[in-house]
Amino acid sequence: MTKILEIDGLQTHFHTEAGVVRALNGVNLSVERGETVGLVGETGSGKSVTAKSVMQLIPSPPGEIVDGSIRFRGENVLEKSPSEIRAIRGSDIAMVFQDPSTSLNPVYTIRNQMIEVITTNRGVSKPEAEDIAHETLEEVEMPRPEGVLKSYPHELSGGMKQRVMIAMELACDPELIIADEPTTALDVTIEKKVLSIFSKLVEEHNLSVLWITHDLGVVAQFCDRVGVMYAGEIVEFGTVRDIFHRPTHPYTRELLKTIPNVANPKDSLGVIEGSVPNLVNPPSGCRFHPRCPDAEERCRSENPPKIRGADQHESSCLVHEVTDTDHSSSEGNSGGE
């Protein structure tokens, strides 16, 4: 398969009065053409900073990308001019944010906003843009698309606004969509509907997706491969089967314990003791060692190797390693649950 997105050694810092926040510390990640890669972790782990770094939306000051590369279709976007980035953003790489209300202008109708985005990114006439807007709203199963086009954002529900945003990005015909927790603000029923629509669109349009979420249930349902992120680093990367059935990194194992047991709802939820470290002064050695149940003395001083985010199962841990047995087991049981 062809890699459409390759992140290599990415370091993004924020300069604050308290010091330099090392939000991303050598992130490596890849997304193949036509696949969905999930990025999971606690709040503050660096998921959204990774997305905004790819989109070149890091506010400067206080933020800056200090090292690494971000390659889209083989070209390093960090070497491109602002005008070249604007040409890529929206038309080639689209982003769906968590709260659609912050992305829609309250004083313009949905029609005006969709037409402006489509004409800007696809270079078509306004009548053509309106036809595309109507078609994409139908694709996202929006009820009464003509009425929605005439509406203002405040007249729509949260789920309808999120469908508008998905339709708006889809109308620009991107190759890669970055979805930053797009269903978090929705109730469970609407979330399920939006996920179903998104999954259908990804398959029909052969889209590549980087799906950022804290919801492991969504990852299990929707993603092909998963990167587990902690304190600005990806600590484990693998297929959904590897991550859920053969987790290697202690953080991944602890994270999976926090998933409610549907079969036995009386079981208590797992809790990861401690909190995400202060990235102005992160722990030495492995950043997870202060919270890790398996930490050894060497974990306090030795840095585990940065994983590359390739196809195989990888873990950035000094104590637990991915073994050949894990790989053969994964291959031998690939035929379903």
Q: What is the DSSP string of 23-75?
A: EEEEEEEEEETT-EEEEE--TTSSHHHHHHHHTT---TTTEEEEEEEEEETTE
Number of domain units in the chain: 1
The pTM score is 0.88
Residue 97 domain flag: no
The reported pLDDT for the residue numbered 280 is 94
Residue 297 domain flag: yes
**What is the distance between the alpha carbons of residues 218 and 222, in angstroms, rounded to a whole number?**
6
The reported pLDDT for the residue numbered 1 is 63
Count of residues in the chain: 337
The reported pLDDT for the residue numbered 312 is 75
Mean pLDDT score, 156-185? 88
Residue 183 domain flag: yes
Residue 221 domain flag: yes
Q: In the predicted model, what is the mean pLDDT of the chain?
A: 88
Percent of the chain with pLDDT over 70: 92
Question: At 236, is the pLDDT very low, low, confident or very high (cuts 50, 70, 90)?
Answer: very high
Residue 39 domain flag: yes
According to DSSP, the β-strands at 3-16 and 63-72 are antiparallel
**What is the distance between the alpha carbons of residues 301 and 53, in angstroms, rounded to a whole number?**
29
What CATH number is associated with residue 289?
A: 3.40.50.300
Q: Is the pLDDT of residue 240 over 70?
A: yes
Residue 152 domain flag: no
Q: pLDDT for 193-232, tens place per residue? A: 888 888 888 888 889 999 999 888 889 888 999 999 999 9
Question: At 125, is the pLDDT very low, low, confident or very high (cuts 50, 70, 90)?
Answer: very high
What is the domain range of residue 275?
A: 3-92+174-332
The reported pLDDT for the residue numbered 336 is 38
**Token pair for residue 126?**
């306004």
Comparing 290 with 188, the larger pLDDT belongs to: 290
The reported pLDDT for the residue numbered 187 is 80
Q: pLDDT for 244-287, tens place per residue? A: 999 999 999 999 988 877 666 666 777 888 888 999 999 999 99
| φ, ψ of residue 319 in degrees (nearest 5) | -90, -45
Residue 137 domain flag: no
Residue 64 domain flag: yes
Mean pLDDT score, 69-87? 92
Mean pLDDT score, 90-98? 86
Residue with tokens 């000051």: 61
Q: Is the pLDDT of residue 332 over 70?
A: no
Q: How many CA atoms lie within 13 A of 261 on its CB side?
A: 9
Mean pLDDT score, 68-75? 94
**What is the distance between the alpha carbons of residues 53 and 12, in angstroms, rounded to a whole number?**
8
Q: pLDDT for 280-327, tens place per residue? A: 999 999 999 999 999 999 999 999 988 776 557 899 999 988 765 554
Residue with tokens 């971000």: 70
Burial level of 32, CB count in 10 A (0-12/13-18/19+)? middle
| φ, ψ of residue 235 in degrees (nearest 5) | -100, -20
In the 3-class helix/strand/coil scheme, how is 154-204 assigned residue by residue? HHCCHHHHHHHHHHHHHHCCCCEEEEECCCCCCCHHHHHHHHHHHHHHHHH
| φ, ψ of residue 317 in degrees (nearest 5) | -145, 135
Question: At 98, is the pLDDT very low, low, confident or very high (cuts 50, 70, 90)?
Answer: confident
The reported pLDDT for the residue numbered 333 is 39
Sequence-separated (6 or more) residues with CB below 8 Å from residue 101: 153, 158, 161
Residue type, position 95, single letter: M
The reported pLDDT for the residue numbered 262 is 67
